[in-house]
Structure formats: C-alpha cells, structure tokens
Amino acid sequence: MKGRIKTTLLLFSLVLMVILIGNNIHLLLIQKSMDSENKDTYLKIDKNKIAILIEVDKKRLSVIDLATGSTIKSYVVATGKPETPTPLGTFKIVEKAKWGGGFGSRWIGLDVPWGKYGIHGTNKPGSIGFNASAGCIRMRNKDVEELYSLINYNTTVAIVSGDYGPFAHGFRKLRPGDRGSDVMEVQKRLKLKGYYTGVLDGIYGEGMKHALIQYLKDNDLALTDTIEYEIYEKLGIILMD
C-alpha cells in the first residue's frame, strides 16, 4: 500500500514538473517571438517610401519615412577629407553589394555622375565621426548592415552640408579637371543661359570651358578658364547668410 502511494506521488511530481517546464518553455518562446517582432520593426517600414538624408557637417545619416516625415533611424558616419570631399546633391542608390576589406561588410553605391561614391562599412571604426574618407560615407559595419536591409535600389539619398547647398564651404576656384556639385551648378547656369550644351555631370571638361569662354566674351569679361567670385556673381550664384 505504502509503495503504491509513493509511486502515485512520484508520478504526480513528474507530471507537475513537466507542466512547469512546459509553461516556462512556452513563455520563453513567446518572449523570443516578441523580441524578434521588435527587432524587425524597422523592416516592416514600406521601403518604397523612405529616403536617406546625410548631413556632412553634422556627420549624421538619417533614414526618413516620407509618409510621415519622421526619422526612422539615425547613425553617426565619417565623410570625406577636405581634399577629397563628399559629393553634395541628390542621388539614387544604384548598387548593393557585400564587400570586404576597407569597405567593411556592405557597399551601397550612388549614381554620382562625376565619380564612384557610396555608403559603406569600414575596418577603421575609429574614423567614424570625422572627415576621414576619400569622399564616401563610412558607417560602422553593424550600422551599414542594418541600413542595407532597410533600403531598396533607387532610394533617394540627399547629401547636404550647411546652408549653401552645393557650395557648402563657400566658393572655391574652379579650374579644368575639377569635379563636384559646385561644378554642376555652374554647368546648370551656363546651360540656362544657352552656352553649355553638354551633360550635367559635374566635371569641368573642354565643353564647359568652351561655354565659359564664350559667355565671358559675350559679357565683356576678362577671358580665363578659372571661375572665381566675379564669374559666380555674374552667373547669379550668390551665397546668402
């Protein structure tokens, strides 16, 4: 009789343990599911309604929800050195790849017309937050991997710096061979005035030089292939504080 009672108590204890263990496993699975759902919250954003804003002067990259105007994510980045500045303007994402080495774990290419630029990871995380690159936007690898999963091809990327648009650091002397958003702005002005007929590619080539010389002749200005303040002003390009 006592043996039967002991056996019954043992079985009851085993059943109770199984129930308790089962409940704990169930709770763990629910928590894991909730954590996974929270982790993927950003991935539920409509990828066709987001854009990227890069503020070079603030060393900040923000993912913007175009439907609400709110910031989904914000990251600290590194940008170009003074001698190799990050291109300013509005571009599109045209390439996505999983590279390595100095480009870190991800590459997101932009359609900058005057060179190959992109957003990528780095094997030098200490450079983040500084002017350190050859013009590209560097991110920590874990950050660029998250960004990579958020964006699609053709996502708009606006790169700005301060209040002067393509002339972020004021006017620079432009000479044949120079490249950049300021070169493209001059091309636009010469095209609007009927002088430049080439591609708006941000590259100061022979076509732009010919257009400039003809414009200077027609306006009784000293002939030069160097664009300085007087020519900027004549073209209607003025920096406003």
Catalytic residue set? 120, 136
Cα(83)–Cα(211) distance, rounded to whole angstroms? 27
Determine the residue type at 182: D
- When computed from its CA atoms, the radius of gyration of the chain, rounded to whole angstroms, is 29
Cα(10)–Cα(15) distance, rounded to whole angstroms? 9
- Residues 144, 90, 159: CA angle, nearest 5 degrees: 55
What single DSSP character describes residue 114?
Answer: T
Write down the residue that tokens 């699975």 correspond to: 29
236's CB contacts (< 8 A; 6+ apart) are 189
Ranges of beta strands (E only) in 26-105 are 50-55, 60-65, 70-76, 79-80, 89-97
